[in-house]
Amino acid sequence: MNTLRQIIAVTAVNLRAIPSRLGSSMVIVIGIAGVVGVLVALLSMAAGFKATLAGTGTHERAIVLRGGSTDELGSVITREQAAIITDTPGIARDADGTPQAIAEFYLLTDVAKPGADTPSNVVVRGTRVDVGRVRPEFRIVAGRMFTPGVREVVVGRAVAAQFETLRIGNTVDVRDGPWTIVGVFETGGDVHESELWVDAGALETASRRTAYNSVTVRLESAAAFATFKDALTTDPRMVVSAQREPDYYASRSEQLHLLIRILGYTVAVIMGIGAVFGALNVMYAAVATRAVEIATLRALGFGGLPVVVSVMIESLLLALAGGLVGAVVAYVFFNGYTVNTLNFQTFSQVAFAFRVTPELIRQGLAWALTMGLIGGLFPAIRAARLPIVEALRTG
């Protein structure tokens, strides 16, 4: 009780003195705000990227690729295989018994981006006009759906926002000449919104392809996946792999997500070291400035522990203020900010929005408090060890 009262009293004295040391205290706040702002911004990029890919698909859908293929681009599914896959047990069926499955082409095309020297790779998905049977989240938000057999394109909302050339009425080279953009679609904010969708038949003719890249199926239920997968993998005619959609798309984000996180933490550690030295400097100066006050309190009978704790509390509060400022700045400037980048696992552009999540803010504040803890600890120990007699003499 007595120690607690001492801590409160000494801390109150320290905190009341902050306005008289506002300039130096702001060094801690701004330094740590910078670190947390950069860290949260970078991690929000990773989080946004991952959320876009990991948020793609549902557990009631599965994607089938050639055995050994890690993505659609390197996968080949023949017409015969596609026919077998669509007839596999576990697939949901329409009222007329038609399996809810769709064999698709997947390829890349160059799209010029204003301000960039080189064109960007954008995914072209050859699908069917009734794609909504398998992907009910699909919705045309502007223009209209492509016409089967015609060289028309519907553009994902995210990629349309990033490439000025992808406007309704414009043309884009998909394969074998220009294709007309007739609509913009959305699929709930997932990775498909970074794609161009065309009619599979038209693409097959233009690209002279004879095999699909993948088959996506809608399952009877999430639990039906095991039945579906077992049936496919035990069929001696098939060398294919089946994955739940969310698992497949999450695996597409792993490398870039990891890279961004490593980059974020590396930058944060480097900046953090600078901020910790700044905090140390300021807190040492604060202790030196208050040496006589601290010595007076110690002479009056205040213990060393309350002095240590009070200096630590001051440092932590300043760091917390810095952390909050950094997190708020990151949120205001970056949350929802949409960019596109090359996913080097698929060699294609993915448009995504930065996501400043509560978890990232919590992480940022934890970093801030860690910096405040380190920055305050050594000055606090010095304050408690201050020789009373010598410090009083300096007054």
Partner 1 sequence: MAQTVVSLRGVSKRYTRGRQTIEVLHNLDLDIDKGDFLALMGPSGSGKTTLLNLIGGLDRPSAGELRVGDARLDQMSSAQLTRWRAQHVGFVFQFYNLLPVLSAERNVELPLLLTPLSAAERMKRVRIALQIVGLADRGKHKPAELSGGQAQRVAIARAIVADPTLLVCDEPTGDLDRKTADEVLGLLQLLNREHGKTIVMVTHDPKAAEFATHTLHLDKGRLVEQAAHA
Please give the residue ranges that form the binding site for partner 1 (CB under 8 A).
1-2, 5-6, 9, 13, 16-17, 20, 292-293, 296-304, 388-389, 392, 395
Least CB distance from residue 273 to partner 1, whole Å?
33
Strand, helix or coil for residue 151: coil
Which is closer to partner 1, CB of 16 or CB of 237?
Answer: 16
Q: To the nearest whole angstrom, how small is the minimum distance from the Cβ of residue 56 to partner 1? A: 58
Which residue lies nearer to partner 1 by CB, 211 or 292? 292
Nearer to partner 1, 19 or 114 (CB): 19
User: Are 41 and 179 in contact, with CB atoms under 8 Å apart?
Assistant: no
CB of 298 to partner 1, least distance (A): 7
Q: Taking the CA atoms of the chain, what radius of gyration do you get in angstroms?
A: 30
Rounded to a whole number of angstroms, the minimum distance from the CB of residue 20 to partner 1 is 8
**163 in Cβ contact with 111 (< 8 Å):** yes
One-letter amino acid of 119: P
| Closest distance to partner 1 from the beta carbon of 309 (Å) | 14
- In the structure encoding, which two tokens stand for residue 382, read together? 């010095």
Distances 193 to 109, 157, 171, 227, 378 between C-alpha atoms, Å? 15, 5, 18, 30, 52
359 class by beta-carbon count within 10 Å (0-12 exposed, 13-18 middle, 19+ buried) = exposed
Distance of CA 383 to the CA centre of its chain: 43
Nearer to partner 1, 206 or 285 (CB): 285
Smallest distance from the beta carbon of 289 to partner 1, in angstroms?
11
Using CA atoms, how far apart are residues 2 and 320, in angstroms rounded to an integer?
27
Question: Cα–Cα distance between 344 and 260 in angstroms, integer?
Answer: 12
Tokens of 162: 């990033």
**Three-state DSSP class for 199?**
strand
Q: Nearest distance from residue 15's CB to partner 1, in Å?
A: 9
With H, G, I as helix, E, B as strand and everything else as coil, classify residue 343: strand
Task: Closer to partner 1 by CB, 17 or 108: give it.
Answer: 17
Instruction: Return the residue matching tokens 């010095």.
Output: 382
Residue 262, classed as helix, strand or coil, is helix
Q: Which CB, 25 or 253, lies closer to partner 1?
A: 25
CB-nearer residue toward partner 1: 292 or 328: 292
Measured from the CB of residue 318, what is the shortest distance to partner 1 in angstroms? 17
CA distance 374 to 131: 56
Shortest distance, CB of residue 387 to partner 1, whole angstroms? 9
Q: At what angle do helices 22-54 and 245-289 cross, to 10 degrees?
A: 170
Looking at the Cβ atoms of 91 and 307, the one nearer to partner 1 is 307
Nearer to partner 1, 6 or 109 (CB): 6
Are residues 72 and 195 in contact, defined by beta-carbon separation less than 8 angstroms? no
CA pair distance 276, 316, nearest whole angstrom: 12
